[in-house]
Amino acid sequence: MMRKQIAAANWKMNLTLAQGEALLNDLFAIPTELGENQEAVLGIPFPYLTTVKDKLSGKQNIYIAAQNCYSKRSGAYTGEVSVEMLQSIGVDYVILGHSERREYFNESNSMLADKVNLCLEFGLKPIFCCGEALDIREAGTQNSYVETQLIESLFHLTPEQLTNFVIAYEPIWAIGTGKTASSEQAQEMHAHIRSVFAAKYGNAVADSISILYGGSVKAANAKEIFGQPDVDGGLVGGASLIAEEFAAIINSLKK
Ligand code: 13P
């Protein structure tokens, strides 16, 4: 079977509960088709996870994601949220290592390895983000930069743990800028990421990994980007806050 095609929303730190519920009511009122190998994932703020989870009951192939978790199991870490807590309320996915967390909260590749381990231990699926800043792209060293992110956070995992894993490639220069990577640039990096996994884990594992593109995805460009052979959907910020946009992005997934 073809690897999963995923349209993931990342609301980031936006919307009140009432606004979020209104957005979902609007989204669910629009016909979307999610086939057997397709999923929609809603990456929503911690306080709304339970409410949104309840709203999804009976819906097929729609899941919730937290946008972060803490790198320690439990204990005296005031204000943090553990993976076990997320598991206990039925969270399915956790977005890990978003560039905003790396930049503003100093998340390192090794801290992310700890977060990945906890997620896998508790049965939550990481959506592991990687991607280079503009200066690295301009220097032409983006491939080795992203490769290092993957090696330092993920290469301790077993082939079984990486089978059906989810990666999001988000070039920082394309996030919230309205400037997407071209579909050729996205395909080139996605193929590189897949080859990095293939070299270490073999083709079967590499081919099972869903690699999402993130960075100014919108209804108008989703079909072309998702149409690339190594692009398995998207991680969507701004456009996921508009029901019509995100519905059209869901409907742009490859069959
Ligand atoms: P935008 O879609 O707003 O560019 O954000 C992308 C992103 O960071 C998703 O995680």
Under 8 Å between Cβ of 183 and 191:
no
- Nearest to 230, CA basis, from 249, 209, 248: 209
Going from the Cα of 187 to the center of ligand 1, the distance in angstroms, rounded, reads: 18
Q: From the CA of 213, how far away is ligand 1's center (Å)? A: 9
SS3 133: coil
Give residue 1's pLDDT: 57
Q: Find the 216 Cα to ligand 1 centroid distance in Å.
A: 6
* Atom number, ligand 1, closest to the C-alpha of residue 43: 10
| Sign of the four-CA dihedral 74, 75, 77, 78 | positive
| The dihedral formed by the CA atoms of 72, 76, 80 and 84, expressed in degrees to the nearest 10 | 50
Is 170 one of the catalytic residues? yes
Q: Which atom of ligand 1 is nearest to the CA of 178?
A: 4
For the chain, how many residues are written?
A: 255
Whether the CB-CB separation of 43 and 91 falls below 8 Å is answered with no
| Domain assignments of the chain as residue spans, ordered by start | 5-250
What is the reported pLDDT for 96? 98
**Three-class secondary structure of residue 208 per DSSP:** helix
Q: Tell me, what's the pLDDT at 255?
A: 87
| Active-site position among 98, 100, 107, 190 | 98
Q: Who's near 135: CB < 8 A, 6+ residues apart?
A: none
The CATH code belonging to domain 5-250 is: 3.20.20.70
pLDDT attached to residue 180: 83
In this structure, the residues whose C-beta lies within 6 A of any atom of ligand 1 are 10, 98, 170, 175-176, 214-217, 235-239
Q: What is the CA radius of gyration of the chain?
A: 17
Atom of ligand 1 nearest to the CA of 99: 8
Does pTM surpass 0.85?
yes
Q: Which residue has the least CA distance to atom 5 on ligand 1?
A: 237
Virtual CA dihedral for 213, 216, 221, 225, nearest 10 degrees?
A: -20
Kindly give the residue spans of alpha helices, DSSP state H, lying in the chain. 17-29, 49-55, 83-88, 99-104, 109-121, 134-139, 142-154, 159-162, 183-201, 203-208, 219-226, 243-250
Active site residue 156: no
Q: What is the pLDDT of residue 177?
A: 85
Q: Which residues pair with 93 in a beta bridge?
A: 65, 125
Q: What is the pLDDT along the chain (255 residues), one digit of tens a residue?
A: 589 999 999 999 999 999 999 999 999 999 998 999 999 999 999 999 999 999 999 999 999 999 999 999 999 999 999 999 999 999 999 999 999 999 999 999 999 999 999 999 999 999 999 999 999 999 999 999 999 999 999 999 999 999 999 999 999 999 888 888 899 999 999 999 999 999 999 999 999 999 999 999 999 999 999 999 999 999 999 999 999 999 999 999 998
Among residues 39, 132, 170, 245, the one annotated as catalytic is 170
